[in-house]
Every structure is written in C-alpha cells, then in structure tokens.
Structure 1
Amino acid sequence: MNSVERHQFILKRLQEKGSIHVIDLGKELDVSTVTIRKDLKLLEERQMLFRTHGGATLNNPYTIDRSVIEKEKMQSEEKALIAATAAAMVEPNDSIIIASGTTVLAMARHIHPVGNLTVVTSALNVAIELNRHQHVEILQLGGMMRSTSASVAGPYAETILQDFFCSKLFLGVDGIDPDFGLTTTNGMEAHLNRKMIEVTQKTIVLADSTKFGKRGFGRICGFDEIDEIITDAGIPPHMLKALESMGVKVTVV
C-alpha cells in the first residue's frame, strides 16, 4: 500500500470510528508506528484530522472558554457523580481549597460539613453556595473577576494564598493531555492554580471524561504534581491506561 492509499485508509477508519490509534493502524496496515505518525502529521497539516496522544480524532482537541451557565448544562449527570465522590473526601474540621469550574461548584453543593470546615476559594459561586452552612468559614480570594467563570485570578489572589496551607485542593480543569498535562483556557487562572498546588498537601482533580485529550491555552502542571483524578466511566481506555502507566491514581465513578 503506497502513502496515498494509506491516507485514504486512515481517513476512512477515522470516519467510521471518530478516533484512531497509531498502534492499531500500524497492525492493520503492517507498517511501523513511525510511518503512521508521519502520515497523521501530514494529514493534520492538510487540516483533515487532529492528532492526539497516540492517535488522531476528527474533533478539535483544543478547548474554548465558555460561560458558567453554558458549561453547567454539559455532562451534568457525570459531574454530579464526580462531585459526590469528591465531597465525601472532605474530613471533619478540614481546611481545603476549592478552585473554579462547574464540577467543583457541583462538589460544593454536595458538601455536608461535619464539625468546622475552612474553605479557601477563588470562585464566587462556590463561596455563595457554601455560605449557607453555619460551620463553614470561607476565605474568598480577591482579584480580577472573570465573568465566564465567576472566579478571580491575578497577583492579589496569589499573595493571599502565601499565608495559608491546606490539606486538599479540589481542582477543575479544561483539558487533560498525557503529553501536555493539565490545562485551563485562561493563563492567569492557570498560574493561580499552580500557586494553589504549592500550598496544598494533596491535589485532587475533578474532570468529566470529555476533558481527556483536550488542551487549553494555559498549562497548570504535569501529572507528577497531582495525587488523584476523579472522572466518569466515559474516560477513553487508552487515556486511562496512559495515566496509570505514569503512576496517576484515577478514580472512575
């Protein structure tokens, strides 16, 4: 099979399955993975597909900034399962950080504090949600408010964080890519998230399965800086395998 025939075969498989993997294509076409990667690179340059970790897809893996209202309607059932699992990890008399995003907002709605709970958050909607509990002390970070996420970012928020150390950070992300790491659509928010990781004992990422294979504008960190990812059963098997091979604990709900 020549290169043109291979390209036609690859595009046909992509139309049939929606996504393809380098190893599978190599076996089917009886060529090396190096050859397949070169084929995928050429087809991506021609804007016929998008390369992903270990393969390719027809869907654009790069995330865009959406409003909270729009994102809340997406994968709501999956987010509720992830949120309930994360909320159960909050211990009596805990001190935690909750970042921004619709999945961590859903988590805040599932929190039923035992004893006193101290919450540091950049998200105004998270603070309002938790303010209904009598024994929750909330430290709302200050700074420039992002209208799309109802959260703050910037040097004021980062400066306040320097005075605290918490047991857990519950972090929402826009993209999880085995090569690029964890990302969000906003560079300032990514920087604030890194500062949150620095002042926390354990970092727990809350992400529904649509976030895997995606990349946002701002890189938060690599997988060596997080402790656990909580996601739903829709996570692609090859993504789960790749993360576990890197030593990342993945909890599927």
Structure 2
Amino acid sequence: MLTLAERHQQILNKLKQEGQVNVLELCEKMSVSSVTIRKDLKLLEDKGLLFRTHGGATANNPYTIDRSVNEKEKIQASEKMRIGAAAASLLQPNDSILIASGTTVLALARNIQPKASLTVITPSLNIALELNRHPEIEVMQLGGVLRKSSSSVTGPYAESILADFSCSKLFLGVDGIDLDFGLTTTNVTEAHLNRQMIKVSQKTIVLADSTKFGKRGFGKICGFEDIDQIITDSGISDYTVKALEGMGIKVTIV
C-alpha cells in the first residue's frame, strides 16, 4: 500500500499532466477509499497545491470573475486573433449567423472579410460596430438591457426577437469550460440568452482560448451535448482534447 507522501506525489503528478484529477479514478489507481482520497485532496488544498472541485480537483482556481470587456481584450490577445481567423474561415457565402458577446468572438468579427453577402445577428455593441463598416454585411442588433461590463444586451426582449430567426451557425464565447459542469459565463441572464441562441442555430461553435478550460462561471450555458465544435489554442491539454472528442465534439487547435 502507498504511503501518504506517495499518494500525494501521484496526485500531483497526474494533476500536472492532465490539469485535473477525479476522485473515483484515484481510488481505483491507488486501491484506497474515496474518504482517503478526499482527505488527501483537502490536505493538498490546505497547502495551496490544488483546488478541490465537485468529484475531484484542479490545478488552477476554477471560479472565474466578471471582468470588463476592455480588460478581457488584453488577455491572450494573439491567441484570440488566431482563433477568430480560424472561425472566420468557416463562413459561407450568404450565411446567416449569430455571434454572441465576448472578446474572442470580437476577434472573429475583426477577421471577417466578406466576399459575398452575410447576415449577422448579435447582442454585442462592439461586434455590431466592427461589422457595420462592411457594406456586404447586414447587421441585426438585438435589443434589451445593456450590460456595461460586456457592452452587450441581455434579457427577455433580446430572447423574444431570436424566436423569429433560424441561423446556420452560432459563434459562442464563454468564461469557463469544465468537463464535469459544462460551459458557463459569469452572468446568469447572459447564459439564458446564449441558450436561446443555441436553440435557433443549426450548429454551435465555441471560441475559447485555453485559459478557459477547467474554469467555471456563475451561470451555466449548456452541457457538451449542445456543442458541435470548439476552436482553441495549443495550450489545451491532450487529456481535455481526448475527453471532448470522446463526446463527439470537433476540436480545432490553432
């Protein structure tokens, strides 16, 4: 049987390789009870070596906070632009698409160079203004309560407008992607609007830099069964890629 120190080292090694650990998997690997593993995780958390989550632990603080769009725009900026360029390459002539709010989907808007007509529906003021300079793009701005931190609208009025449309693609930005909990944002009303966007779209494509994985926001958007594709950068772990592909999600790494 492994000693306490040996168990802790194995937990930390697995955490370093995969970014997260699962209690049940650790129980099987070390032939100990879940009570023992949970005590181990608490001891390691008390030492500041990990963060406990429901059913396991992660290497980084999983809880994300609401930040202004100006602050977010400076984080992982080059990665976001590459993700945006990859997303822009998916557009087809005469497409009708939804672009949600966030700085990664704003990078998509900045990469769009339309060669034919394109219709874009968005709750984001920044995205609407960015695309308005293209004569080939018809922009439909959703209305509602304006969130100052994200410069985008939310609420029942925006949701009711969506009921009149059917779009080929939704490009969705998120604040967190947790393999156990799903996709989240820091604002509940924004999460609800995003769910309505998913309902009226044939395909949902998530644009998220690698720092979003293993994170959780306050408002859950959806589970992985609602997602068709994720575009991210090379900072994503192999373990996460395999887990997502195992759920039938196409993962594109830029």
Smaller-chain TM-score bracket: 0.7 to 0.9
What residue is the counterpart of 2:196 in the other structure? 195
SS in structure 1 of the partner of residue 65 of structure 2: coil
- Tell me, yes or no, if the aligned pair for 2:79 and 2:233 is still in contact at 8 Å: yes
* Percent identical residues: 60
SS in structure 2 of the partner of residue 251 of structure 1: strand
What residue is the counterpart of 1:38 in the other structure? 38
Gaps of 5+ in 2: none
What residue is the counterpart of 2:157 in the other structure? 156
What residue is the counterpart of 1:145 in the other structure? 146
The structure-2 alpha-carbon separation of the partners of 1:240 and 1:55, relative to structure 1 and needing over 3 Å to count, comes to farther
SS in structure 1 of the partner of residue 252 of structure 2: strand
The structure-2 alpha-carbon separation of the partners of 1:44 and 1:181, relative to structure 1 and needing over 3 Å to count, comes to farther
SS in structure 1 of the partner of residue 203 of structure 2: strand
The structure-2 alpha-carbon separation of the partners of 1:102 and 1:203, relative to structure 1 and needing over 3 Å to count, comes to same
Q: Distance in 2 between matches of 1:225 and 1:162?
A: 18
What residue is the counterpart of 1:217 in the other structure? 218
Q: How many residues align?
A: 251
Spell out, residue by residue over 1:216-251, the C-alpha distance to the aligned partner (whole angstroms, 9 max, x if none): 100000111111000111101111111111111111
Gaps of 5+ in 1: none
SS in structure 2 of the partner of residue 201 of structure 1: coil
Q: Distance in 2 between matches of 1:46 and 1:199?
A: 45
Q: Does residue 179 of structure 1 match 2:177?
A: no
* Letter of the structure 2 residue corresponding to residue 31 of structure 1: S
Q: Give the drift of 1:56.
A: 3.0
Q: Distance in 1 between matches of 2:52 and 2:171?
A: 30
SS in structure 1 of the partner of residue 202 of structure 2: strand
- Residues 28-107 of structure 1 aligned to structure 2 (within 5 Å): 30-32=30-32, 34=34, 37-43=37-43, 46=46, 48=48, 49-51=50-52, 56-107=57-108
Spell out, residue by residue over 1:173-210, the C-alpha distance to the aligned partner (whole angstroms, 9 max, x if none): 00111111110000000000000000111110000000
What residue is the counterpart of 2:239 in the other structure? 238
TM-score (normalised: structure 2): 0.88
- Greater shift after overlay, 207-216 or 240-249? 240-249
Q: Distance in 1 between matches of 2:165 and 2:241?
A: 33
- Tell me, yes or no, if the aligned pair for 2:210 and 2:233 is still in contact at 8 Å: yes
Alignment root-mean-square deviation, CA: 2.9
Q: Give the drift of 1:135.
A: 1.5
- Tell me, yes or no, if the aligned pair for 2:41 and 2:57 is still in contact at 8 Å: no
Q: Distance in 2 between matches of 1:26 and 1:217?
A: 28
Q: Give the drift of 1:90.
A: 1.1
Q: Distance in 1 between matches of 2:192 and 2:31?
A: 42
The structure-2 alpha-carbon separation of the partners of 1:22 and 1:202, relative to structure 1 and needing over 3 Å to count, comes to closer
Q: Distance in 2 between matches of 1:138 and 1:222?
A: 29
Q: Give the drift of 1:18.
A: 10
The structure-2 alpha-carbon separation of the partners of 1:205 and 1:53, relative to structure 1 and needing over 3 Å to count, comes to farther
- Tell me, yes or no, if the aligned pair for 2:169 and 2:202 is still in contact at 8 Å: yes
